[in-house]
Amino acid sequence: MSGSINKAETAAALVVVAEGVIVIAVGWSYPMGTVARMGPGYVPVLLGGALALIGVGLVFEVLRSDPTRLAFSPRAFIALMSGLVAFAVLVERAGLVPAIWALVFLSVMGEKPVRIKNAVGISIGMSLIGVFVFIKGLGVPLSIFWW
């Protein structure tokens, strides 16, 4: 821990706090309702408060941390962008499972060293979670597979 303030990370943490406050302000303009009958502003205010609290925690954590130099990685950027493009292209044409699998698998390719077993395992797990949360739980009208 150094004696100087880590300005870059502190600024980023303050942005998180500001985003939380903005979400609270926008959510507050909607009817709140009660816990039993939540209005449209209830969840945004709750999540905005959580985001602001996380941001405050981040401010205290990074305020006096040592500055780190982050290097841009073209490999990671290309892997993440190709995963997002693959998801966008595949989600309606091939189904949710292939789209999530491609998104996660291609995104993991940006890490060094590439661990194929981990990438496959994470892709399968996230695909299953996506099916249960979005299709089974929320009823999003997407096909699981193209057939």
Report d(CA 57, CA 46) in Å as an integer: 17
Say what the pTM is. 0.62
Domain-embedded: residue 78: yes
Query: Taking residues 86-97, what's their average pLDDT?
Result: 93
Give start and end residues of each alpha helix (H) in 4-144: 7-28, 42-62, 74-93, 96-108, 116-130
Same domain, 57 and 18: yes
Same domain, 85 and 47: no
pLDDT per residue as tens digits for the range 59-75: 988 887 777 776 788 98
Range of the domain at 117: 74-137
Domain-embedded: residue 43: yes
Residue 24 has pLDDT above 70, yes or no: yes
CA angle 68, 79, 139 (to 5 degrees): 110
Mean pLDDT of the chain: 89
Which range (3-12, 23-32, 88-97, 116-125) has the least confidence?
A: 3-12
In sequence order, the β-bridge partners of residue 38 are 33
CB 5 within 8 A of CB 64: yes
Q: What total of structural domains would you count in the chain?
A: 2
